[in-house]
Structure formats: C-alpha cells, structure tokens
C-alpha cells in the first residue's frame, strides 16, 4: 500500500518559529516540528489532515527529542464531540536516562498492527 500524504496541519499546541508544524508536511523529512522554547510545555499535540480517508496499516515516526508518543485517529465527518480512537497507545521513545543525558534523541520508530 502506498503512503498517504498529509494534506495540511489542522491545529497544533505550540511551535518554534524556526521549526513550525508545517515541517511535518515536508516529503524529505529533514526539518523537525518543535515546540516554542518560551512555552515550556511538557506536552505537544498536532492534528493532521490526510489527503483522503485511508485504512492505516502502518505508521513510521521520526523522533527528534520526544520522550513519549501517542497516535489517535478520527474522521473529519465525525461530530465534534466524538472522541478520537487510539491507533498507537502511549509508547516510550526515550528513557528518562536518555532524556537527562541528552542521548538517543533522534531515530525512527515503525508501528504496524499488532507490533510496535
């Protein structure tokens, strides 16, 4: 199955002006999306719109200093009060020791049904 492109960023909780959420649309994947350093927020979120409704068989995520990740999905046709469904439950991308020592900040994790 061919990858489905992300059409646009619907919303985000924070962004660094040098590394905006729109970087997630980049096909070369070189620039990260980072939270604004002034926000000091502990949790970032982004809502993305895919180019079309799709069955999601796998997700590859490039990490740039994120300790935890959770992926939720929904449909734009759903009512506003309908909660998203969890596609990938919260997973650890960096250990507390890695975070404190500023190690293993970069990598790619692949998630597919029944595995992570």
Q: How far apart are CA 30 and CA 44, in angstroms?
A: 19
Beta bridge partners of residue 62, listed in sequence order: 108
pLDDT value of residue 12: 93
Q: What pLDDT score does 39 carry? A: 85
pLDDT digits (tens, 9 = 90+) for 33-92: 999 988 877 889 999 999 999 888 899 888 888 889 999 999 989 999 999 999 999 999
- In the predicted model, what is the mean pLDDT of residues 10-37? 89
Asked whether residue 114 carries a pLDDT value surpassing 80, the answer given is no
**SS3 labels along the chain:** CCCCCEEEEEEECCCECCECHHHHHCCCCCCCCCCCCCCCCCCCCEEEEECCCCCCCEEEEEEECCCEEEEEECCCCCCCCCCCEEEEEEEECCCHHHHHHCCCCEEEEEEECCEC
Structure confidence at residue 102 as a pLDDT band (50, 70, 90): confident
Q: pTM of the predicted model, to two decimals?
A: 0.83
Cα separation, 12 vs 10, in Å, equals 7
Report yes or no: 19 and 37 within 8 Å, Cβ to Cβ: no
Q: Kindly list the structural domains of the chain, giving each domain's residue range(s) and its CATH number in brackets, ordered by start.
A: 1-54 (no CATH), 56-111 (2.60.120.260)
């Amino acid at each position: 199955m061919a990858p489905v492109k992300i059409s646009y960023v619907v919303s985000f909780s924070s962004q660094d002006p040098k590394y905006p959420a729109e970087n997630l649309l980049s096909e070369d994947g070189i620039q990260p999306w980072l939270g604004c350093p002034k926000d000091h927020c502990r949790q970032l979120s982004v809502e993305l719109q895919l180019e079309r409704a799709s069955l999601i068989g796998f997700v590859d995520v490039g990490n740039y200093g994120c300790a935890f990740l959770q992926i939720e999905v929904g449909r734009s046709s759903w009512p506003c009060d309908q909660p998203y469904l969890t596609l990938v439950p919260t997973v650890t991308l960096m250990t507390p020791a890695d975070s404190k020592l500023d190690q293993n900040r970069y990598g790619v994790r692949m998630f597919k049904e029944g595995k992570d």
